[in-house]
Amino acid sequence: MNLGRAKSILIIAFIGLNLFLGYHLFWPDFGRLTSVAVTAEEMRITEAILKNNNYFLEASLDRAIQTSDFLTVSSTSDIQMQIMGRLIEKGALVQEFEGASIYITTGETAVFNSSGLTQILYDSGIFLAEDSINLELSELKSLVEQFINEKELMPEGIVFDYLEKTEAGSMILYYYQVLDNMPIFAGQLKVIIESDNIKAVEIYWLKLIERGPVREMEVISATEALTNLVKGLGPNSEPRMINRIDLGYFSGEYDAEKWEIPPVWRVVLDGQDCYYINAFTGNLEQDSIIPKQLP
């Protein structure tokens, strides 16, 4: 018997078995994930519904079938502890008020809420640049990020999101959190600018406890999310532009040890208003826009 030939036959048979098993284990999911979930007809119908209600789609949509899972998270105190330590070194006056610790130093007040939200207010503001409202976005971002880095307020996994300009002439730069390579829209850093000065910084950051279930589940399509958004918000008297639609995670702030957050489709309207549609149920989250008023 030719041992070399027999060995070759066994190797080929082994490779064939692996390919067979791999196909049956992984190919159904691979084919499903790379197939088109949103057809051209569905796109046409969705755009017609949007237009009839005065919404106009500027964003491009990912038309492939997508999956996601739940996350169990908790707020992290790491950033709060670092800021507290710095303020104590500066001789901060500490007060307790309705579930919040308030640290007061010359020109700066920091409010540490039990939910994990940190708010830092600069009494007279920190000068940023002349005529900052007319700066190019890249230059404005660079100056702001230099500031939060020098103040040791830049947490890990921070990604610039968008710039909001208010009718009063102030600006807010929004950053979101990336956790385990996933966009976490609940984790957020905001920098508030008024009259060329940074007036406040807000930080709410999360940490991952676990993901589940082990096997990801299919989520609703981006077109279904947009249709549900229109149903939830109703028609508009003025045109509204849909600038972005992204898959990520979102929840409100909870004063709890840990909680579960679902995947969401986040829709950005007119460059600054964010709405969140549960990517499993299709429901518009009730706390889509959470106003965080500074004390």
Tens digits of residue pLDDT in 103-146: 999 999 999 998 889 999 999 999 999 999 999 999 999 999 99
Question: Do 59 and 161 share a structural domain?
Answer: no
Q: What is the residue range of 133's domain?
A: 77-204
67-75 β-sheet, strand order: 206-218, 67-75, 259-261
The pLDDT score that the predictor gives to residue 132 is: 94
- The number of domains in the chain is 2
232-247: average pLDDT: 93
Kindly indicate the confidence band of residue 228, based on its pLDDT and cuts at 50, 70 and 90. very high
pLDDT at 24 over 90: no
- Domain CATH for 252: 2.40.128.690
Kindly indicate the confidence band of residue 166, based on its pLDDT and cuts at 50, 70 and 90. confident
**150 in a structural domain:** yes
Question: Do 145 and 116 share a structural domain?
Answer: yes
CA distance 294 to 102: 12
**27 in a structural domain:** no
CA distance 245 to 185: 12
217-244: average pLDDT: 93
Q: What percent of the chain has pLDDT over 70?
A: 83
249-267: average pLDDT: 85
Question: Do 192 and 133 share a structural domain?
Answer: yes
Q: Which of 42, 74, 68, 70 is nearest to 57 (CA)?
A: 42
Question: Do 127 and 268 share a structural domain?
Answer: no
Residues 242, 57 contacting (CB under 8 angstroms): yes
**161 in a structural domain:** yes
Question: Do 185 and 257 share a structural domain?
Answer: no
Question: Do 135 and 102 share a structural domain?
Answer: yes
The pLDDT score that the predictor gives to residue 86 is: 92
Taking only the tens place, the pLDDT of each residue in 70-102 is: 888 988 888 899 999 999 999 999 999 888 999
Which pair of tokens denotes residue 155?
Answer: 């947490």
Q: Give one word for 182, left, alpha or beta, with left for phi > 0 and alpha for psi -120 to 50.
A: beta
CA distance 240 to 58: 10
Question: Do 212 and 70 share a structural domain?
Answer: yes
pLDDT at 293 over 90: no
Burial 29-47, CB ≥16 within 10 A → b, else e: eeeeeeeebbeeebeeebe
